[in-house]
Structure 1
């Protein structure tokens, strides 16, 4: 199997120490010194990780980051900026980078970035994240995974909080240990304590056998307490003690079991608001809220919609089906109140209803969008198509070394029309001067 690639974008090739670090982590290193090489290497090798230096003079760093992000939406991009360029570092994060390194840096810091990227890729096997918003959250989750701190995931129902929790587990040193998920809202209140902490034989009526609890089952690994806001207050106090003491007692037992465990909690409610209303213990909230993550609703990460649809088509349709263009447009316009869970159900239904290999709008059976929401979605769709057109023009300019007449001929438009398009691209912040002449 071929080694994955790391693309290093800098006028000078990286030093030998950096080169050795990257190769030692199982990657092949590519170097690009100008925009022409960047575009070519992105197309030919599809690198998984890209480092971009702020000293590149052909294009502003945020624009170059945006260009690479368009070419490689699944790649992890790390900008390299001087220690006095904090504003520039922030701009690169808005343009598609997931992290940055402050210069001067040590080769060991590059090695850490590569290892984090590897761990993040390993955790992405069953998690679709293409949009910038998703990848930013995953970068934070990946950092959280490298610690032992508790994580609190907040987000609407159906957004995929459990998948994010599994990603954290898989990206951590506990990946080969148990991952136990507990839905606190799905277990009857009178059974919750025994379910979480376990019980001995005879601890209560009906306890005919000894039973280990979920905490004990997850020992050495990670436990997800999903919908933790549904825990009754008395049980919250007992949970707090378990988290503080890192040990658990089965019901009906006086012996304590030491725990080595990472706790991940999740909720579709605002826990801070629950604390203010007296519905959730403040001390437990602060015990859990060490590393908070807010998983966006699907409508806030629309670039994930079609990749998710394709993922479910492959999962349930064995890759034999595809979305028609009209169906894809409708999916992008829909607001997805049920988030990823609703999208999954829609794709399963469409596969059942499909009369051919191409899924049509009628197969989706989606309700009509609210007019205001539809207008917003249509605007976003228009912007997405415009970005695709801009990318195509940039590719042609690159192919013809900036020659406008040949580019116009390839586009099938006049040179004057191309000038208008280039002017429009400049107005939208696309830096074409490095490519067009």
Structure 2
């Protein structure tokens, strides 16, 4: 049963009541407030839902201040709630430090699904599911890497859990009490990425109405994850190389250097060696990043992890009475190829929990694609003892 407290800041009490009802029915305690300043002063919750229509400050100001006053060991998670026409405001809130956003109007399921995702960010890294020999071997290497300050390059297909592995390295390192900042280089427009990474001063470009620290500054003392590093432009690769060499950064529009004490982890689903040969990725930057390489194998190459991961996601997302996988569901999951890896498995479990009737998730509930090209033979030793003894509907 969920017992977490959610802070909810919304000046419109009528709109707030509907959201509060959804949260309380899901088992949350709600710390409801109507002003931004009151929300900053209250420390009852690690997660805040904050409206874009604050009466005493802008949404972006609130998010920025919330990250400043938060405990350094537990940064406050802010979820911005904005109207449909406020997409730009949502992007600005994310840049200021918001974890995610919701567009009004939204369904209760959207809210609860988002809360489940952000709560996963707070879970201790012991929650990593690693039953296969290959996964345990990678975690051993990651633990050794964590004891150093060297750069780490994590490779693997999309959905394999590269960010989870990066967080594990951070949590096992001497920097664990300092910030962990993840940046998806592919999700930020090329024209904005430099300012997001390195910050900017007032007037540096059109729309820069004030100075803003970059992600490297925010991660100072801790760890920065540069996800999808292969998507970075050659010009920005050169600037990143200088930051790694000099251990200092200059905000866009400024010549003042800011010293950095930071651990850099890069992640990609591309083969950077091939990218170097093709001339789209700098060789000198590659060697700066590839000091301690870690490769997260696809899920199909570590089948022993499939059912433990499914059980983990069932426990994470189930509501109401406990349930488990039926024997036919286990068999189907073990035979499926999982082209989307752990991300696909998580999504399928979430859907199956909605579709199920009774105490078991069946093969029909999984709704896996029927495609013989995605079915693989699983060796008998990989099948758990539960198969054949678990009930079916």
TM-score range (shorter-chain normalised) is 0.5 to 0.7
Aligned length: 263
Per-residue deviation, residues 298-356 of structure 1 (Å, max 9, x unmatched): 00111110110011001100471110011011100101000000000000000010111
Query: 1:197·1:213 contact (CA, 8 Å) conserved in 2?
Result: yes
Structure number with greater Rg is: 1
- Is the counterpart of residue 168 in structure 1 residue 169 in structure 2? yes
The whole-number CA distance in structure 1 between the counterparts of 2:385 and 2:330 is 15
Aligned 8 A contact 1:159 1:298 in 2: yes
In 1, Cα distance between equivalents of 2:376 and 2:255: 63
Gap regions ≥5 residues in structure 2: 1-122, 387-393
Cα distance, 1:375–1:185 mapped onto 2, change above 3 Å: closer
Kindly state the Cα deviation for residue 388 of structure 1 after the two structures are TM-superposed: 5.5
Match of 2:330 in 1: 328
- 1:253 counterpart = 2:254: yes
Q: Secondary structure at the match of 2:375?
A: helix
Could you tell me which residue of structure 2 aligns to residue 348 of structure 1?
Answer: 350
* Residues 166-208 of structure 1: per-residue CA shift (max 9 Å, x gap): 0000000000000000000000000000000000111111000
- TM-score, normalised via structure 1 length: 0.59
Is the 8 Å Cα contact of residues 337 and 376 (structure 2) preserved in structure 1?
A: no
The aligned residue for residue 297 of structure 2 is 296
Structure 1: which 5+ runs fail to align?
Answer: 1-121, 390-437
Partners of 2:285 and 2:255 in 1: CA distance: 24
Distance 1:171 1:306 in 2: 26
Structure 1 residues 312 and 198: CA distance shift in structure 2, 3 A = same
Query: Does structure 2 conserve the Cα–Cα contact (< 8 Å) formed by 1:124 and 1:167?
Result: yes
Counterpart in the other structure of 2:381? 383
Separation of aligned partners in 2, 1:192 and 1:388 = 49
Aligned residue runs from structure 1 range 74-93, under 5 A: none
Query: Which whole-Å CA distance do the structure 2 matches of 1:283 and 1:147 have between them?
Result: 21
| Distance (Å, rounded) in 2 between the aligned partners of 1:384 and 1:253 | 57
Per-residue deviation, 1:123: 6.0
Partner SS state of residue 148, structure 2: coil
In structure 2, C-alpha distance between the alignment counterparts of 1:138 and 1:254, rounded to whole Å: 41
Q: Which runs of 4+ in 1 moved over 4 A?
A: none
Provide the rounded CA distance (Å) in 1 between the counterparts of 2:135 and 2:285. Answer: 28
Match of 1:362 in 2: 364
Q: CA deviation at 1:375?
A: 5.1
Map residues 56-95 of structure 1 onto 2, 5 A cutoff: none
> In structure 2, the residue corresponding to 1:264 is in which secondary structure?
strand
Aligned-partner Cα distance in 2 for 1:316–1:149: 36
**Residue 146 to residue 323, structure 1, CA distance change in 2 (3 Å):** same
Q: CA deviation at 1:383?
A: 3.0
What is the alpha-carbon distance in structure 1 between the residues aligned to residue 331 and residue 369 of structure 2?
Answer: 14
1:126 CA drift (Å)? 3.0
SS at match of 1:148: coil
**Structure-2 change in CA distance of 1:126 and 1:383 (3 Å):** closer
State whether residues 303 and 382 of structure 2, in contact with CA within 8 Å, keep that contact through their aligned partners in structure 1: no
Per-residue deviation, 1:253: 1.3
CA RMSD, Structure 1 to Structure 2 (Å) = 1.6
Say if 1:375 and 1:215 are closer, same or farther in 2 by CA, change over 3 A: closer
